């Protein structure tokens, strides 16, 4: 028996990085998964691999900044799997710049992908979850949603917003048996982290080596974060809501 047997999930940004690792883990634990991503080709390849392995997954082209796309993701879960129990609002982007360097367009884009997407997907998912007796939502925060960071003004602001939005949602929807929590990763070996090195004009290998400077002396891997998400959506966290789980190898400490 898997920890998520019979559960139906949506993972945004599920075709790569932390999202992909979470999709794979959810499927291995028995969940049926909608892989919602702008990169539908990669999402489709992942869904096909999961299906060949005996799991259940479908791919969906989804721009999480568009309400209609988020609504379609929820409808896809209901149509394909019969309901919706879990949402991992994982999709995100980063812009490494201070407030002077950041353009208004960049600020708006980071806020749209990192914060508005959480609002939109949850807005469409919560009524379905409530109608089915409850569910679990995990929002992707960051260590930099709990403390400041250099040359990342829009990213820090967006992740701080996600952390407090999580608390507000947990208060509002707890009576509907919907738990809402936030996962706050530290530096994790993903394409987005490597993109940060490029934006800062730093050597990628040097940048990643610096990211390992924390008590556990290594950079995070997507599977590390996925296991934290699994805990938060599983019955093991049945009395956990409105909290932030920091998974960062001790970096914030």
Mean predicted confidence (pLDDT) in 220-243 = 98
pTM of the predicted model as reported, rounded to 2 decimal places = 0.98
- Quick: pLDDT tens for 15-30: 999 999 999 999 999 9
Give alpha helix (H) positions in 29-144. 40-52, 67-81, 104-111, 117-131
CA angle (57, 159, 222) in 5-degree steps: 40
Checking 71-80 for CB contacts under 8 A at 24+ apart, the result is 71/124, 73/10, 73/12, 73/34, 73/36, 73/121, 73/124, 74/10, 74/121, 74/124, 74/125, 74/128, 76/34, 77/8, 77/9, 77/10, 77/32, 77/34, 77/128, 78/128, 80/32, 80/34
Mean pLDDT taken over the chain: 97
The answer to whether residues 76 and 84 touch, using CB atoms and an 8 Å cutoff, is: no
- Quick: pLDDT tens for 166-182: 999 999 999 999 999 99
Binning the chain into helix, strand and coil, the percentages to the nearest 5 are 50, 15, 35
Local confidence band at 221 (pLDDT 50, 70, 90 cut-offs): very high
* Domains in the chain, CATH or no CATH each: 8-188+223-244 (3.40.50.720)
Mean predicted confidence (pLDDT) in 231-237 = 98
Cα-Cα-Cα-Cα dihedral sign, residues 167, 84, 119, 224: positive
Q: Determine the Cα–Cα distance for residues 70 and 67; give it in Å rounded to an integer.
A: 5
Q: Is the pLDDT of residue 50 over 90?
A: yes
- Quick: pLDDT tens for 64-81: 999 999 999 999 999 999
Per the residue annotation, which of 155, 160, 245, 247 is the catalytic one? 155
Note if 150 is an active site residue.
no
């Amino acid at each position: 028996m898997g920890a998520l047997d019979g559960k139906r999930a949506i993972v945004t940004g599920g075709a790569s990085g932390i999202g992909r690792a979470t999709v794979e883990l959810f499927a291995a634990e028995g969940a049926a998964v909608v892989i919602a991503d702008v990169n539908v080709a990669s999402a489709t390849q992942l869904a096909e691999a999961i299906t060949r392995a005996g799991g259940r997954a479908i791919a969906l082209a989804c721009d999480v900044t568009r309400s209609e796309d988020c609504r379609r993701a929820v409808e896809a879960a209901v149509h394909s799997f019969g309901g919706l129990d879990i949402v991992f609002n994982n999709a995100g982007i980063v812009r490494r710049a201070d407030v002077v360097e950041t353009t208004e367009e960049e600020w708006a884009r980071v806020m749209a992908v990192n914060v508005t997407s959480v609002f939109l997907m949850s807005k469409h998912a919560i009524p379905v979850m409530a109608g089915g007796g409850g569910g679990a939502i995990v929002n992707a925060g960051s260590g930099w949603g709990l403390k400041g960071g250099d040359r990342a003004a829009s990213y820090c602001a967006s992740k701080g917003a996600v952390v407090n939005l999580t608390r507000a949602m947990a208060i509002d929807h707890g009576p509907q048996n919907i738990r809402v929590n936030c996962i706050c990763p530290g530096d994790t070996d993903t394409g987005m982290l490597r993109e940060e090195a490029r934006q800062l004009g730093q050597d990628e290998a040097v940048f990643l080596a610096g990211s390992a400077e924390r008590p556990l002396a290594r950079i995070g891997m997507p599977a590390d974060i996925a296991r934290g998400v699994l805990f938060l959506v599983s019955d093991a966290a049945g009395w956990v809501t409105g909290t932030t789980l920091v998974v960062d190898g001790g970096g914030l400490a």
